[in-house]
């Protein structure tokens, strides 16, 4: 344990915690932390991409439509160890090489955490290829229609809808409102299991077939009449995706609208979700889907109103996507998941309310030293404020007790740690959790609280290590 203490020393804090750690936006809520890591747009040689995909090996095909599709997507790895997705078009798709490069550069200028961004292209002879960020956790179709271990949770379905709406709004704001054949195969999940919209659908000639959709039942009415995609057509397709999320099946819009008009919309809902959402929430999303699926294009909402409406429906917004999806972060299935205690689970989820209840109920560890009446009174006042969730007062009283210096209490540091987290002071919270560990090196709670503070600071790897340490100590205690 001594090595662990030295790792999280005060010097470590100053050298590892960047000043912007607390101020930087949360990636789960559309922050910008990742944007700087997205490579700039490049033009690749055919040889580069052959090497990356093992000669365009069939073993590297990741396209849901398989080898029969005219445009095939391969998984690849560049020499700098960057994983990529390479879309190889049929040679007739882009006869004009200049138009292809201009279109690719235009789409490649977009950069959003809601997109699987385009990072390059290749145009040699008849070859037309696009290179995008690789998304390791498969497609929405896989998780929604062909799940193996658990159906997608209601909160995650709402998040998928919101993130897609945000992707469409971003594209619209950049003059790229047209998206070709928006469907569940175009929605991909990144290493954190956040849903992203494939950039390939933003290319004018990127359709996988001759028609807008492989199934006419899902094609926007105006496209059937005119053969043209409009921003309103994209919203219609978004409505079909909402039906997918509601039902867990690919239901034709006409059938769904008949059920909605007949007030039989409960029949639309995925039976796996029964009891996991309120009728009001289900009704609201059904109404919203029906607005997107209006026959007259002008009656459908725009991208901005999609975001506004879906923002108000979000549930469990503080829970990371990989937790909601039940998939290890970074797509590392070889690692066995930790068997966490309720406190460990609460710290992983960053459920501060649950942590507060557990700390309050668990009471105090043995304190060392003798407190005089004045400092003891500060502790009592701090406990009363902590119980009443008056965290500012709790911080003041606990600080007065700690500064008194006559009594050492790991529990006071633990409680002040949570009070700091409740006050959005994650760095101070980490310092207190570390101090509790120094006082009581075998106390799992100190490690769990470190994990929660580190998660708040965006320091995922260290947070997971602290969770692991706390879990191991808990297991050790249970054996004794």
Residues near 119 by Cβ (< 8 Å), separated by ≥ 6?
Answer: 38, 39, 40, 41, 42, 84, 108, 131, 132, 133
Residue 71 phi/psi, 5-degree rounding, is -120, 120
User: Which of 48, 181, 190, 432 is an active site residue?
Assistant: 181
Structural Rg of the chain based on CA atoms: 26
Angle between helix 410-422 and 373-387 (nearest 10): 40
Q: Is 181 an annotated catalytic residue? A: yes
> Catalytic residue numbers?
181
């Amino acid at each position: 344990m001594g090595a662990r203490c030295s790792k999280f020393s005060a010097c470590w804090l100053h050298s590892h915690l960047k000043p912007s750690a607390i101020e930087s936006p949360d990636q789960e809520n559309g922050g910008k932390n990742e944007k700087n890591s997205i490579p700039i747009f490049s033009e690749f040689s055919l040889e580069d991409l052959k090497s990356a995909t093992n000669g365009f090996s069939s073993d590297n095909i990741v396209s849901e439509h398989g080898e029969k599709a005219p445009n095939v997507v391969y998984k690849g790895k560049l020499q700098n160890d960057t994983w990529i997705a390479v879309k190889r078009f049929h040679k007739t798709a882009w006869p004009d090489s200049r138009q292809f490069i201009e279109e690719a550069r235009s789409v490649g200028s977009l950069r959003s955490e809601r997109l699987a961004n385009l990072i390059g292209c290749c145009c040699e002879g008849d070859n037309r290829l696009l290179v995008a960020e690789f998304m390791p956790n498969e497609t929405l179709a896989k998780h929604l229609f062909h799940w193996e271990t658990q159906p997608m949770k209601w909160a995650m379905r709402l998040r998928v809808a919101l993130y897609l709406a945000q992707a469409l709004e971003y594209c619209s704001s950049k003059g790229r409102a047209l998206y070709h054949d928006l469907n569940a195969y175009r929605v991909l999940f990144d290493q954190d299991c956040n849903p992203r919209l494939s950039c390939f659908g933003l290319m004018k000639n990127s359709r996988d077939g001759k028609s807008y959709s492989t199934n006419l039942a899902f094609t926007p009415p105006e496209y059937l009449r005119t053969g043209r995609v409009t921003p309103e057509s994209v919203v219609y397709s978004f409505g079909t995706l909402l039906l997918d999320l509601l039902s867990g099946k690919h239901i034709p819009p006409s059938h769904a609208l008949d059920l909605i008009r007949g007030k039989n919309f409960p029949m639309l809902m995925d039976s796996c979700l029964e009891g996991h959402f309120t009728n009001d929430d289900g009704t609201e999303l059904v109404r919203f889907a029906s607005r997107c699926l209006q026959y007259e294009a002008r009656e459908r909402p725009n991208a901005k109103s999609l975001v506004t409406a879906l923002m108000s429906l979000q549930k469990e917004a503080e829970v990371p996507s990989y937790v909601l999806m039940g998939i290890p972060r970074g797509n590392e299935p070889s690692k066995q998941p930790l068997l966490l205690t309720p406190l460990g689970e609460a710290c992983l989820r960053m459920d501060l309310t649950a942590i507060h209840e557990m700390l309050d109920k668990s009471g105090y560890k043995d304190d060392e030293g003798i407190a005089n009446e004045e400092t003891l009174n500060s502790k009592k006042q701090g406990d009363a404020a902590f119980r009443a969730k008056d965290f500012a007062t709790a911080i003041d009283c606990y600080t007065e007790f700690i500064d008194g210096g006559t009594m050492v209490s790991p529990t006071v540091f633990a409680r002040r740690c949570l009070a700091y987290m409740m006050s959005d002071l994650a760095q101070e919270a980490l310092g207190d959790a570390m101090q509790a560990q120094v006082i009581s090196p075998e106390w799992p709670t100190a490690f769990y609280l470190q994990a929660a503070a580190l998660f708040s600071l965006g320091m995922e790897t260290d947070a997971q290590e602290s969770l692991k340490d706390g879990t191991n100590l808990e297991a050790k205690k249970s054996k004794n």
